[in-house]
Amino acid sequence: MSEAASASAPAPAALHTRNARKSVGELASLLSNAFHLALLAQEINGILTDFAVTIFADRVFIVVTQLGTFGTLVR
């Protein structure tokens, strides 16, 4: 990912901000337009659930959280 793209990506804690919320249709549109990062916030059973999809050259990374953060990622 280029420095410009990584600089514009929101921090994980920013997933719950109203500006980051996308509808399911908007998420599909973002992915089809070849964005490298797409964010979606959807209420599921009364709990705000965040989805982040990051597209890399050789794989797709999907995060689903109801905590508003990614937590710790360990390979």
27, 58 in Cβ contact below 8 A?
no
Query: Of the candidates 37, 26, 29, 28, which has an alpha carbon nearest to the alpha carbon of residue 60?
Result: 37
Residue 30 pLDDT: 61
pTM exceeding 0.95: no
Assess whether pLDDT exceeds 60 at residue 56: yes
Reported as a pLDDT band with limits 50, 70 and 90, residue 45 is: very high
**Tell me: the pLDDT tens digits for 8-33?**
444 444 444 445 566 666 666 665 55
Q: Let me know: does 38 contact 22? Beta carbons within 8 Å.
A: yes
